[in-house]
Structure 1
């Protein structure tokens, strides 16, 4: 009985002093790292890296990193003459194309890259026409140079990776 009272008194003293005891708060989930391979993105490798960094600066539960030797990438990025498009196999996994047709039409390359990464991160096209909405894609004007996800888009990605949400395989394509 005396031992319990002493232990309770020590806990109270530590709490008043601001000392946090182990197990006092729930453990934070580890950041999910997704590896991408941009080696086949041809002249767009730098802009693919920029698109990844845009997401890394705005979300906390997932991080996009270039694939390192010995690892299998979650994401593969290609370049071709068509429209940008993404094929997901599950949340955080799939491949996408940096299509030259959109680039040649004047769409902002970093926006295209960030948008396509957005699909891999679980976001669908919204086609709102608003430049403030990254996932509005080609429905925003060609003059739109905003490559950043808005607060709702970033929060949705954070929530999906915090809960390990499942996303069905999908295909997304820009429409000219």
Structure 2
């Protein structure tokens, strides 16, 4: 009986080691990493005059935070982020939005008219959709400082801390909370 128990323990230890080795292989890790990417779609038909800046902002976030991918929705595809032009100040739904949820960006013309950089505006507003609040540091290097940075600021790249927070928001590839989003961040001047 004791030999049989030892044999079972040894077999389980061997199989357990094989499983651990299998999980740790680079090919499996790459597959797991790809499976964790959250893809979000956007519709810019309500802000067609800013299509170039919107595409640039999606590309900036795609490069900055590999756990989430923002792509333009194709005809008939579910839309996660709806972007519309608005005469007021820019604002957005606070995320992080998930692939089963939805959010909105109001691309406010008031900030454009005041001379703020259009790519920075939309990258900032998408940052809200990805779960970043305003931080009002006044620093051009902080994307989420928004209008507290000088009007001349053209930096549309998120800071290392902002990138890390979005990465954490999408680290599991699944939502911790699938409830509808109701918080709107109004980026008043």
Q: TM-score range by the shorter chain?
A: 0.7 to 0.9
Structure 2 CA distance for aligned equivalents of residues 151 and 165 of structure 1: 23
- Of 162, 172, 176 in structure 1, the residue corresponding to residue 185 of structure 2 is 172
Structure 2 CA distance for aligned equivalents of residues 156 and 169 of structure 1: 20
Query: Which residue does 1:150 correspond to in 2?
Result: 159
1:58 aligns with 2:64: yes
Instruction: Please state which structure has a larger fraction of its residues in strand.
Output: 1
User: RMSD across aligned C-alpha pairs, in angstroms?
Assistant: 2.5
Query: Which residue does 1:101 correspond to in 2?
Result: 110
- Of 109, 117, 125 in structure 1, the residue corresponding to residue 126 of structure 2 is 117
Runs of 5+ unmatched residues, structure 1:
12-19
| C-alpha distance 70-140 of structure 1, shift in aligned 2 (>3 A) | same
Q: By how many angstroms is 1:23 displaced?
A: 2.7
Q: TM-score, normalised by structure 1?
A: 0.83
| C-alpha distance 39-142 of structure 1, shift in aligned 2 (>3 A) | same
Q: By how many angstroms is 1:165 displaced?
A: 4.3
Query: Which residue does 2:42 correspond to in 1?
Result: 36
Structure 1 CA distance for aligned equivalents of residues 87 and 121 of structure 2: 14
Q: 1:8-37: per-residue Cα shift (whole Å, max 9, x none)? A: 7xx9xxxxxxxx953335633421100000
User: Would you say the 8 A contact 2:95–2:131 is kept in 1?
Assistant: no
| Count of aligned pairs | 164
Give the 3-state SS of the residue equivalent to 1:162 in structure 2: coil
Structure 1 CA distance for aligned equivalents of residues 80 and 141 of structure 2: 28
1:71 aligns with 2:51: no
Structure 1 CA distance for aligned equivalents of residues 93 and 148 of structure 2: 20
Instruction: Please state which structure has a larger fraction of its residues in helix.
Output: 2
| C-alpha distance 148-100 of structure 1, shift in aligned 2 (>3 A) | same
Runs of 5+ unmatched residues, structure 2:
1-6
User: Would you say the 8 A contact 1:89–1:169 is kept in 2?
Assistant: no
Structure 1 CA distance for aligned equivalents of residues 73 and 158 of structure 2: 23
